[in-house]
Amino acid sequence: EIPSDVTVIAGGTSFSLHKFPLVSKSGYIRKLVSESMDAHVSIIELPYIPGGADAFELAAKFCYGVNFEISTENIAMLRCVAEFLEMTEEYAVVNLIGRTEAYIKEVALTSLPGAVFILHSCEDLLPVAENVKLVSRCIDTIALIACRDSRFATPKSVEFCDSVSHNLPVSKPVVDWWAEDLTLLRIDLFQRVIVKMISRGFKKYALGPILMLYAQKSLRGLELFEKGRKKIDTKQQHEKRVVLEMMVGLLPREKNSMPVSFLSMLLRAAICLDTTFACRLDLEKMMAAQLAQAVLDDLLIPSYSLTGDTLFDVETTQRITMSFLESRMELNRVGYDADQSYIPHSSTEMEIVTRLMENYLAEIASDHNLSVPKFLDFAELIPEQHRATDDGMYRAIDIYLKAHPALSDMERKKICSLMDCQKLSREACAHAAQNDRLPVQTVVQVLYYEQQRLGEVMDGGVHETSPALDPPKTPEPMEIHPIQDEDSVSTLQRENEDLKLELMKMKMRLKDMEKNSSIKVPVDHANPSVISRTLSNAEKPPLPARKSILSSVSRKLGRFIRPEGNTLGSQGRVKAGKDRRHSIS
**Model pLDDT, residue 515:** 66
| Last residue within a domain, chosen from 84, 108, 132 | 108
Between 385 and 288, residue with greater pLDDT: 288
The distance of Cα 486 from the centroid of its chain, to the nearest Å, equals 38
> 309 pLDDT band (50/70/90 cuts)?
confident
What is the arithmetic mean of pLDDT over 418-447? Answer: 87
Between 287 and 551, residue with greater pLDDT: 287
**Structural domain harbouring 59:** 1-108
We report the CATH number of the domain holding residue 44 as 3.30.710.10
> 53 pLDDT band (50/70/90 cuts)?
very high
Which tens digits make up the pLDDT trace of 528-576?
443 343 334 444 444 344 444 444 444 444 443 344 444 333 333 333 4
Whether 316 is in a domain gets the answer yes
- Report the b/e string of 409-422 with b at 16+ CB within 10 A: bebbbbbbebbbbb
One-character DSSP codes across 477-502: GGGTS--S-HHHHHHHHHHHHHHHHH
**Model pLDDT, residue 334:** 63
pLDDT tops 50 at residue 525 = no
CA distance 15 to 6: 8
**Model pLDDT, residue 41:** 74
Task: Return the percentage of the chain with pLDDT > 90, whole number.
Answer: 33
Whether 477 is in a domain gets the answer no
pLDDT tops 80 at residue 171 = no
pLDDT tops 70 at residue 344 = no
Whether 385 is in a domain gets the answer yes
What is the arithmetic mean of pLDDT over 138-149? Answer: 87
CB-based contacts of 395, cutoff 8 Å, min separation 6? 358, 362
pLDDT tops 80 at residue 363 = yes
What is the arithmetic mean of pLDDT over 422-450? Answer: 86
Of 416-420, 479-483, 512-516, the poorest mean pLDDT is in 479-483
**Model pLDDT, residue 487:** 57
> 305 pLDDT band (50/70/90 cuts)?
low
CA distance 386 to 355: 9
CB 268 within 8 A of CB 302: yes
Which tens digits make up the pLDDT trace of 127-140?
999 999 999 999 99
Whether 386 is in a domain gets the answer yes
pLDDT tops 80 at residue 263 = yes
Whether 122 is in a domain gets the answer no
**Model pLDDT, residue 146:** 83
Of 45-54, 427-436, 478-487, the poorest mean pLDDT is in 478-487
DSSP β-ladder status, 13-17 and 6-10 = antiparallel
> 37 pLDDT band (50/70/90 cuts)?
low
**Model pLDDT, residue 499:** 63
What is the arithmetic mean of pLDDT over 455-481? Answer: 47
CA distance 266 to 283: 8
Of 319-333, 363-377, 433-447, 499-513, the poorest mean pLDDT is in 499-513
Whether 219 is in a domain gets the answer no
Q: Is the dihedral of CA 498, 501, 507, 510 positive or negative?
A: negative
Which tens digits make up the pLDDT trace of 71-111?
999 999 999 999 999 999 888 888 999 999 999 999 999 98
Of 224-228, 436-440, 493-497, the poorest mean pLDDT is in 224-228
Which tens digits make up the pLDDT trace of 399-409?
999 999 998 98
> 335 pLDDT band (50/70/90 cuts)?
low
Between 496 and 291, residue with greater pLDDT: 291
CA distance 449 to 440: 14
Q: What mean pLDDT is reported for the chain?
A: 76
CA distance 557 to 410: 29
CB 553 within 8 A of CB 444: yes
> 337 pLDDT band (50/70/90 cuts)?
low
Number of compact structural domains in the chain: 2
Of 360-369, 372-381, 511-520, 540-549, the poorest mean pLDDT is in 540-549
**Model pLDDT, residue 575:** 39
| Last residue within a domain, chosen from 422, 439, 456 | 456
Whether 127 is in a domain gets the answer no
| Last residue within a domain, chosen from 456, 483, 510 | 456
Whether 231 is in a domain gets the answer no
CB 211 within 8 A of CB 247: yes
Between 327 and 534, residue with greater pLDDT: 327
**Model pLDDT, residue 35:** 80
Phi, then psi, of 78 in degrees rounded to 5: -65, -40
pLDDT tops 70 at residue 514 = no
pLDDT tops 80 at residue 274 = yes
CB-based contacts of 551, cutoff 8 Å, min separation 6? 570
pLDDT tops 90 at residue 317 = yes
